[in-house]
């Protein structure tokens, strides 16, 4: 009896030990990895195909799930590739885009998952044309830009991550990633497939989340390379403000779209425009971060800490207020007359091939609108002028300014219906006065247009936020 019990006990112990050993061997196996080489795959046209590579280390089996309706997708563990076919044009119940999952089981028995966003759209590589501002005029497109340098030819940087600081619409920018110094992102249309015009700012950060540099994304159907006007002096001007979605003021929607963005003199970073066409309440346009939450500009006074180029770069969402001690420059003491220039600089905010205008670029211009009492277009009279040099004519919105002292967009008209009745446009040049910069200026007398004023060159404090009209590089 004793021998029989001992035998059974030994058999149970042996079985348990074998199970433990098998379990340990399984858990002690190599760790598996499963990942796509890129997280977005766009196919140019309906019915088109594409192939995306994936990494599968110590993976013994893979399977696909959540495949968007109408799409055909297969996965091959031998070749480590996923083959994708977009829905044919007019396919019933097919969707334009979606996210599929690739699931794998590793040698330890663990399940791993990788996701891939697929859609019908374009892939656009802008890495060969670095700039502080990129004009993006195609939605449902996957863009790539170089984020390893400041400006077009500036100092090299080595970011470890990228982030969307702000965008003017939710769900405008998605899938923002960084790989080998290249930032890639998806520019989306709205839910109806319509192009969303607006602006965004992305930044490269170091390991401590400090901004190393930032880039303006001007999202517009406007193409400055084909839509410009040429002055008698030979300068080619954009037909709209930097960051604007329109160049007219026939309606309140067009007025709002024509503002564009505001800039402190010498800084490369854009500052958001107003929420309403008439600058009501001095409210800034809504901005959203990558998580689609509201985000805001902040106002800081210039000081030995904040009034430096380094601070301005690291805090691109800060409006640096001028103070008496700084001479009302956003720079506190190390004042720099060469941040912008006739030869494009690292800090110039205009797109590739364009720059801030020269000191005398507006000298030949005058208000081209007739100053007659028969004008019935009150909005046009109140919100801007057509300026002309006799050869070219272009509309300039009277967009007010961001005050050097307060930072908000100022409404300086005292009429019953407040309007931004002044136009202030920076040039690249320092002013005649110490610590000033040169700008074009005009006023709008909404009761008597003949009393309006135009000055091609006026000195202003550099902490002011003005609009910009870029000119083509020679």
User: What is the per-residue pLDDT across 150-178, written as a single tens digit (0 to 9) for each?
Assistant: 999 999 999 999 999 999 999 999 999 99
Would the CA dihedral through 463, 469, 472, 474 be positive or negative?
A: negative
Level-2 CATH architecture, domain 121-221: Sandwich (2.60)
pLDDT of residue 270: 98
DSSP assignment letter at 156: B
Residues 282 and 276: their CA atoms lie apart, in Å, by: 9
φ/ψ bin of 411: left (φ > 0), alpha (ψ from -120 to 50), beta (otherwise): beta
DSSP β-bridge partners for residue 461:
436
pLDDT of residue 278: 87
Which regions of the chain carry the CATH code 2.60.40.10? 33-120
445 φ, ψ (degrees, to nearest 5): -90, 105
pLDDT in tens, 47-72: 999 999 999 999 999 999 999 999 99
Level-2 CATH architecture, domain 33-120: Sandwich (2.60)
pLDDT of residue 378: 55
Q: Are 81 and 51 in contact (CB under 8 A)?
A: yes
pLDDT of residue 39: 86
Q: Are 260 and 271 in contact (CB under 8 A)?
A: no
- For residue 147, how many C-alpha atoms fall within 13 Å in the half-sphere facing its CB? 31
Q: What's the token pair of residue 448?
A: 């008597």
Burial of 5 (0-12, 13-18, 19+ CB in 10 A): exposed
Residues 235 and 55: their CA atoms lie apart, in Å, by: 52
Q: Is 322 helix (H, G, I), strand (E, B) or coil?
A: coil
Q: Are 278 and 421 in contact (CB under 8 A)?
A: no
Distance set, CA 84 to CA 53, 102, 119 (Å)? 11, 13, 10
pLDDT in tens, 169-217: 999 999 999 999 999 999 998 888 899 999 999 999 999 999 999 999 9
Per-residue confidence at 374, pLDDT binned at 50, 70, 90?
Answer: very low
- Give the contacts of 466 (CB within 8 A, at least 6 positions apart): 262, 263, 265, 401, 402, 424, 425, 426, 439, 460
DSSP assignment letter at 467: B
Order of all β-strands in the sheet with 173-179: 122-125, 141-146, 182-187, 173-179
Which residue carries 């006026």 as its tokens?
Answer: 458
Which residue carries 């006074």 as its tokens?
Answer: 301
Element (H, E) at 428: strand 422-430
pLDDT of residue 368: 84
pLDDT in tens, 304-321: 999 999 999 999 999 999
Residues 252, 254, 257: CA angle, nearest 5 degrees: 110
Per-residue confidence at 450, pLDDT binned at 50, 70, 90?
Answer: confident
DSSP assignment letter at 460: E
Average pLDDT, the chain: 89
């Amino acid at each position: 009896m004793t021998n029989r019990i001992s035998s059974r006990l030994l058999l149970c112990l042996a079985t348990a030990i074998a199970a433990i050993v098998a379990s340990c061997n399984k858990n002690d196996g190599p760790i598996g990895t499963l990942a796509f080489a890129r997280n977005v795959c766009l196919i140019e046209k309906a019915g088109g195909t594409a192939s995306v590579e994936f990494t599968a280390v110590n993976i013994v089996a893979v399977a696909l799930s959540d495949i968007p309706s109408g799409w055909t997708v297969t996965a091959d563990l031998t070749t480590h590739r996923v083959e994708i076919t977009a829905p044919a044009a007019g396919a019933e119940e097919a969707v334009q885009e979606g996210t599929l999952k690739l699931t794998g089981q590793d040698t330890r028995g663990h399940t791993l998952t990788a996701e891939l966003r697929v859609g019908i759209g374009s892939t656009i590589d802008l890495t060969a044309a670095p700039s502080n501002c990129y004009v993006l005029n195609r939605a449902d497109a996957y863009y790539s830009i170089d984020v390893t340098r400041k400006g077009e030819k500036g100092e090299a940087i080595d970011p470890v991550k990228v982030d969307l600081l702000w965008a003017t619409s939710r769900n405008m920018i998605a899938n923002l990633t960084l790989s080998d110094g290249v930032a890639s992102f998806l520019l989306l249309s709205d839910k109806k497939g319509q192009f969303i015009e607006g602006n965004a700012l992305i930044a490269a950060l170091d390991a401590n989340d400090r901004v190393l540099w930032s880039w303006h994304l001007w999202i517009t159907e406007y193409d400055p390379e084909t839509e410009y006007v040429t002055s008698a002096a030979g300068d080619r001007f954009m037909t709209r403000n930097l960051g604007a979605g329109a160049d007219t003021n026939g309606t309140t929607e067009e007025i709002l779209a024509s503002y564009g963005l505001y800039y402190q003199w010498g800084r490369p970073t854009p500052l958001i425009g107003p929420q309403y066409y008439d600058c009501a309440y001095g409210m800034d346009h809504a901005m959203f971060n990558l998580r689609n939450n509201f985000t805001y500009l902040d106002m800081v006074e210039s000081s030995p800490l904040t009034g430096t180029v380094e601070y301005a770069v690291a805090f691109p969402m800060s409006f640096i207020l001028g103070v008496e001690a700084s001479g009302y420059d956003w720079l506190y003491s190390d004042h720099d007359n060469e941040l912008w220039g006739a030869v494009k600089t690292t800090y110039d905010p205009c797109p590739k091939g364009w720059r801030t205008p020269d000191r005398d670029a507006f000298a030949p211009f005058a208000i081209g609108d007739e100053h007659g009492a028969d004008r019935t277009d009150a909005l046009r009279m109140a919100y801007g002028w057509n300026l002309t040099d006799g050869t070219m004519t272009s509309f300039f919105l009277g967009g007010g300014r961001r005050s050097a002292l307060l930072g908000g967009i100022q409404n300086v008209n005292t009429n019953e219906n407040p309007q931004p009745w002044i136009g202030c446009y920076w040039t690249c040049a320092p002013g005649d006065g110490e610590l000033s910069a040169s700008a074009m200026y005009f006023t709008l007398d909404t009761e008597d247009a003949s009393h309006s004023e135009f000055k091609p060159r006026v000195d202003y404090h550099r902490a002011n936020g003005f609009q910009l009209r870029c000119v083509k590089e020679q």
